[in-house]
Structure formats: structure tokens, C-alpha cells
Amino acid sequence: MSSSKETIVKIEELSNGRESQKTTINILCLDITHYSQLTQFGLCSAFVFICYLAYGYFLELIFTGPEVKPVSLYITLLQFLITMVFSYVESLIRNPIKRKVPIRTYAILAALTLGTMSFSNLALSYLNYPTQLIFKSCKLIPVMIGSIIILGKRYGFLDYIAAIIMCIGLTMFTLADSNTSPNFDIIGVIVISLALLCDAIIGNVQEKAMKQFQASNNEVVFYSYAIACIYLVVITGVSGIMTAGYIYCSEMPVKLYTNIFLLSLSGYMGLQAVLTLVRICGATVAVTVTTMRKALSIIISFLLFSKPFVFQYVWSGMLVALAIYLNHYSKKHPHYVPLPLLHCWHYMQSFYQSEYRYLKIKTKIYADTV
């Protein structure tokens, strides 16, 4: 998933990729319960590819122009409002929203949601979309750090290897972009890094809140975006960005407002398709599909929007994909360590213990002699 909406919903992988009870399976309002699992997987995957490819296209189309920088928060406000409306309409069709999480927690989540969305959108004014997408794919690193600090989690060998490989791939991709892209700006790296920092915090805070209060995904999305809209109305109103943004959009109102609406619609539909895919096949399969979609998004971005291309983009992107795979492989094999390293570790332990015993004996002999 490339959009920052992905950070709003934390998904627990279900055993064997299915729930223990038979439940209704929907993609938005389409009931696909009676189809085979293969057909369900195909429909969900098609929705993910179509919706998120459209999301990436409209995101780049709207935010890549330098003139958007001063009014990016106004466009983000419209995106938040539309997403909030979609979430509310969905609750009317399915189940009414009943708040379980305290407003104070939602106030924090809303601020983090605002940070990750606004920084991600603003970064496109400084970086190519493929670079922004690669950065968003590397949120494993800040999420690991945040979960260690906030939740006290511990990670296995493969998680740390994945983080190291991801750092290398991300660095190489950024260097390639800095050497070839006329739009590259180090400020963009700082901005997208701030978005990742918000990702790291929001994922862990939201996971803790959902486990503690048993809140639904739709509840978290609705209240997070609703309160974030209040923040944005105050910020854009006081700073004058709302007026400037309205004037900017009024120059081509039909085109700009249509693009913003389609951006929000495609992102929300893609999010729901991913949630359904997780319920059907599990989080690992869902991540595999979304990773393939990200690769296709990068290819389409280079084809539709003129950018210089070097082969370094390919192999550095492959390193990031490898790191994502290792990270999700480690979820099923959390204690996996390669046999050569395991043997080496056991040898070092036995050597240390033998040396320790030897030194202990020598020390005792020396003490007795003295």
C-alpha cells in the first residue's frame, strides 16, 4: 500500500488467512461470500491494482507542480473531508459507528494522521513519486524503532537483516534520484522522513488503542479523519492557506476538484480492498500483492510522467522488495537464524564458556598458591 491511509488501519494476520467463523465477505458493498477463494482473491487483487494505480496517478498529477507547495494543506483538507464522508456512508450501509476509544487518543491519532498525510503529499513537490513511494515502503525501520520504545517489542534476526537491506536500498535509490532528477531537493527527504516518523508512532499507538478498546477499523478511520479535519480547518484558516487554496482551485475548479475527489475515492476503495484481501488470504499474501502493485506504480510513473531513468533505480528497488519479503517471512518464522550463523554462535558460546572455566580454575589455583 502506498497511500498514507495505510497507516490508519493496523491489521492482525488471521490464522491460516481465514477467520474461524464463516462471515460475510464484501468489497465495499459487493458481496463476494459465495464465490470460490480463488475468485475472491482475483477480485480483491484487481481492486487493489486498479484503485491504487489510480491513486498514485492522481497523487502525482495533483502534487508534483511547484505551485502546489503553498496550498498543499488545503488539498489535504479536502482529501480528509471526502475520506471522512466515505467512512460515514459506509457505516450507514454496514454498521453504525460506536465510539469505544477515548477522544484524547483520537486527538493524538488525528494529529499523527495529519502529519503523515500532509508531509507525504508535500514531499511530492520536492521528490519524484517513485522516490516517495520507496520511502513509504521503508516504514519498517521507524516502525521497528517506535515499537521497541512504545510497546517494548523484540525482533528476530531476519527483521534486523531486513532493516539493514532496506536502508541500503533506500540510500541507493535516493542517491540515484539526486543525480538524475531535476526536481530533487534535500528538503523533500526531510519532509518524507517526517512522514515516516509519524507512521512509526501512529502504527504503534493505534495498535495499542485497538487492542485495548476493541475498536473497529471504520471507527478509527472516521474519528481520526474527522478530528484531523478540525485541525486542518483551524491551521488553514489562521494561516490564510484556505483562502489561497480556494483561489488556486478556482482557476480550474472542475479539473482540480474532480482530481481531488477521484484521488480520495480511489484511495478509500483501495484501502477497503486490501482489508478484504487480508481477511481472505492473510496479511502476507496481501503485502505481496501490494508490493507488486508498488513496483507497477513505479513503472507506470516513469512511463506517464517524463523522468530520467538509470539502472540503479532497478536494483535498489529490488533490495527494498527483498527486505519487505524478509520482514514478512520473519513473521511466520520469528526465531529463524541461518544454520552457519547458528553453528558459529554455538561455537563462540562454547569457546567462551571453556575459556571462562579455564580462567576460573587458573584464578583459583593462583589464589590458593598465594
- pLDDT (tens digit, 9 = 90+) per residue, 22-58? 566 767 667 777 877 778 888 888 888 888 888 888 9
Q: Is there a single domain that holds both residue 296 and residue 223?
A: yes
**Residue 42 backbone dihedrals phi, psi, to 5 degrees:** -65, -40
Helix (H) or strand (E) holding 31: strand 30-31
Q: Could you count the other beta carbons within 10 Å of the beta carbon of residue 61? A: 18
> How far apart (Å, rounded) are the C-alpha atoms in residues 144 and 160?
9
Q: Are residues 348 and 281 in the same domain?
A: no
245 and 362 inside one domain: no
Examine the fold and report which residue of 306, 328, 361 is the final residue of a domain before the chain moves on: 306
Classify residue 171: in a domain, yes or no. Answer: no
pLDDT at res. 14? 41
Gap between the Cα atoms of 349 and 351, Å rounded: 5
Q: Are 65 and 193 part of one and the same domain? A: yes
Residues 123 and 195 reside in one and the same domain: yes
DSSP character string of 299-325: HHHHHHS-----THHHHHHHHHHHHHH
C-alpha cell at 267: 484511495
φ and ψ of 282, to 5 deg? 100, 160
**Domain enclosing residue 350, as ranges:** 340-370
Residue 262 has pLDDT above 80, yes or no: yes
Confidence of residue 170 (pLDDT cuts 50, 70, 90): low
Assess whether 122 and 218 both reside in one domain: yes
Bridge partners of residue 31, in order along the sequence? 26
When divided into structural domains, the chain yields a total of 2
Of 274, 259, 298, 325, the residue nearest 132 (C-alpha)? 298
Distance between CA 168 and CA 189 in Å, rounded? 15
How far is residue 260's CA from residue 21's CA, in Å, rounded to a whole number?
39
- Examine the domain organization and report whether 273 and 345 are in the same domain: no
- Establish if 251 belongs to a structural domain: yes
The answer as to whether 33 is a domain residue is yes
Cα(286)–Cα(274) distance, integer angstroms? 7
Nearest Cα to Cα of residue 304 among 11, 82, 60: 60
Domain end point (choices 287, 306, 325): 306
Do residue 27 and residue 75 come from a single domain? yes
Pairing of strands 30-31, 26-27: antiparallel
In three-state secondary structure terms, 35 is coil
Residue 289 has pLDDT above 50, yes or no: yes
> Does 198 lie in the same domain as 75?
yes
Asked whether the whole model's pTM tops 0.85, one would answer no
Instruction: Indicate whether 98 and 209 sit together in one domain.
Output: yes
Residues 95/98/102/108 CA torsion (nearest 10 deg): 40
pLDDT at 226: 92
363 within a domain of the structure (yes/no): yes
Q: Which residues on neighbouring strands pair with residue 27, listed in sequence order? A: 30
Asked whether 245 and 73 are in contact (CB, 8 A), the reply is: yes
pLDDT at position 261: 95
Place of cell 528538503: 187
